[in-house]
Amino acid sequence: MITARAGRLLVAALLLWAPLVCAEQKADAIDAFLSRFSDLQALNGAVLVADGGKVIYRKGFGQADFEWGVANTPDTRFRLASVSKQFTAAVILQLVQEGKFTLDTTLAEALPSYRKDTGAKVTIHHLLNHTSGIPSYTSLPAFASDISRDPYGVKEFVEKYCSGDLEFEPGSTFRYNNSGYFILGAIIEQATGTSYETAVADRLFRPLGMRSSGYDRSGPVIEKRARGYERSLGGVRNADYLDMSLPYAAGSLYSTVEDLFLWDQALYGDTIVPAALKARMFTPGLEGYGYGWGIAERPIGPGKAMRTHISHGGGINGFNTLIVRVPEDRHLVVLLNNTGGTSLGAMSAGVLDILYGRTPPLPKRPVSHLLYETLGSKGVEAAIAQYHELKKTRANEVDFGERFLNELGYELMRGGRLDDAIEILKLNVEAFPGQSNPYDSLGEAYMKAGQNELAIKNYAKSLELNPANRHAVEQLAVLTKR
């Protein structure tokens, strides 16, 4: 016979056990979902998921070092790329709190060595939310080929590559801008008298116990650091070298999924950034960008209720990253990947579905994988025929997204198969006639093949569909001067 006291204890035990079962079920569902991406070679990295502020899932997928067969784990260190920007923003806000400057302080005042004509128009606020109008150095046509491998000092780089004429009136337009955050790093050094690396470590990483985070450099031996790779249809290769003095305060930090959980938790308090300034960090400006974060209201909660979705992604040679926070429910999804670009957004959205009790759509096999095999054995005509057949018979199993034919076309271009690349990219234009990017890519293929009239025609169409396509503008300028 169960006594009343024993009954109460049993009920209490069941109530405590039920959330654990729920957490385990969610973790199992998350693992099955993400394992599908791993099986499709779309995930090679580390993941952490917190539900209500408690970690329910952490796991490594694939290899941190393919040459030596070293597996990724939750304590593997990855380059964060632009996820670094939120740390730069936090240090800037600390300096505002300390009275070093205000958000309305001009660039010319905060960094006296900067050119006065444009620096007097741009404020720290503009730099933080990408509305400064300063040209972004990563958009320079020769950045990857001529600049990215060479080391630069901070002052030298600011003067040479972050001081161009304004592209628009500060505050009037949002344009994502790595120059702005590079300059913020220089301002941090000016205000603190220390290096950016030291300022971030002393003000953020050490106080928070983020012992596996720091400023990435190629020289030092860093324990458990992942190597960067690019995965293409032809396999995995080492990513192109990038001197880490160039991403600097816009993208040179490294961390782990576990350290980023500590960071997420710290943001619920006011010890790192005071409440009033933290509110500014998470206040959406133009195109929903705050200070180092993108903020949006999305129907992702229970029953598709609206929730504030706070996130930032990053991409750098060999790595792409994403951190997503849902503060109302204290959910967190961290995805760090070391095989280049992949669909981290689809992964995070699926994980959030699971956290809110929904079944996410499973990823499909990219059509490019199937066509690449056919191209190698039977040629481009057979691959095009296969594409049409797959659309008729396997639409529920295969992903026909615009980026996959694009990916295939570039793989063929890299292999010197320009004629085949043109045929595949023409197929992409036929499939997505209302999108700008397919025309841009086809224009590039025609340009490489020396068919300049067709290149001009396709670049012009791309620009018509997307007037903000700067690549098309630049290439048309080159083509029309020939």
Helix, strand, coil in percent for the chain, rounding step 5: 50, 15, 35
Same structural domain for residues 234 and 191? yes
Strands of 61-120 (E only): list them.
63-65, 70-71, 78-79
Dihedral-angle region of residue 226 (phi above 0 means left; psi in -120 to 50 means alpha; beta otherwise): beta
Residue 71 to residues 5, 218, 272, 450: CA-CA distances in angstroms?
50, 20, 33, 44
> How many other β-carbons are positioned within 10 Å of the β-carbon of residue 340?
20
CB atoms within 10 A of CB 349: 17
Last residue of a domain, one of 312, 327, 355: 355
Domain boundary among 355, 381, 402: 355
Q: Which of 332, 355, 378 is the last residue of a domain?
A: 355
Q: Distance (Å, rounded) from C-alpha 337 to C-alpha 358?
A: 25
Q: Are residues 113 and 223 in the same domain?
A: yes
30 in a domain, yes or no? Answer: no
371 & 341 share domain: no
pLDDT of residue 218: 85
Do 176 and 306 lie in one domain? The reply is: yes
pLDDT at 342: 85
Per-residue pLDDT tens listing for the chain (482 residues): 456 665 554 444 444 444 555 889 999 999 999 999 999 999 999 999 999 999 999 999 999 999 999 999 999 999 999 999 999 999 999 999 999 999 999 999 999 999 999 999 999 999 999 999 999 999 988 898 899 999 999 999 999 999 999 999 999 999 999 999 999 999 999 999 999 999 999 999 999 999 999 999 988 999 999 999 999 888 899 999 999 999 999 999 999 999 999 999 999 999 999 999 999 999 999 999 999 999 999 999 999 999 999 999 999 999 999 999 999 999 999 999 999 878 899 999 999 999 999 999 999 999 999 999 999 999 999 999 999 999 999 999 999 999 999 999 999 999 999 999 999 999 999 999 999 999 999 999 999 999 999 999 999 999 999 998 988 999 999 998 86
In this structure, is residue 144 part of a structural domain?
yes
User: Could you tell me if 234 and 215 lie in one domain?
Assistant: yes
Task: Compute CA distances 152 → 218, 242, 317, whole Å.
Answer: 14, 12, 18
**Which CATH number fits the domain that encloses residue 240?**
3.40.710.10
Which value, in Å, is the radius of gyration of the alpha carbons in the chain? Answer: 24
Range of the domain at 164: 81-355
Greatest alpha-carbon pair distance for the chain in Å reads: 95
Give me the half-sphere count of Cα atoms (radius 13 Å) on the Cβ side of residue 410: 13
Instruction: Give yes or no: residues 383 and 304 share one domain.
Output: no
Residue 245 sits in the same domain as residue 350: yes
Query: Does 302 lie in the same domain as 375?
Result: no
One-letter amino acid at 376 equals: G
Please check whether residues 162 and 243 belong to one and the same domain.
yes
| Number of domains, the chain | 2
Asked if residue 414 belongs to a domain, the reply is: yes
Q: Is residue 305 part of a domain?
A: yes
Answer yes or no: is 159 within a domain. yes
Query: Do 233 and 344 belong together in one domain?
Result: yes
* CA–CA dist 278, 280 (Å, integer): 5
Give which of 435, 304, 427 is closest to 371, Cα–Cα. 427
d(CA 391, CA 401): 12
Nearest to 106 by CA among 91, 86, 130, 126: 126
Region of residue 104 (phi > 0: left; psi between -120 and 50: alpha; otherwise: beta): alpha
Specify if 334 maps to a domain: yes
Identity of residue 361: P
Query: Residue 95: which residues within 8 A CB-CB, separation 6 or more?
Result: 101, 188, 191, 192
> Are 237 and 155 contained in the same domain?
yes
Residue 21 domain-assigned (yes or no) = no
User: Going by C-beta distance under 8 Å and a sequence separation of 6 or more, which residues neighbour residue 314?
Assistant: 80, 81, 82, 83, 84, 251, 320, 321, 322
Query: Are the CB atoms for 232 and 412 separated by under 8 Å?
Result: no
Distance CA 479, CA 475 (A): 6
Q: Report the CATH number that the domain containing residue 411 is assigned in CATH.
A: 1.25.40.10
Please check whether residues 98 and 218 belong to one and the same domain: yes
Using DSSP's 3-state secondary structure scheme, residue 55 falls into strand
* 29 lies in some domain: no
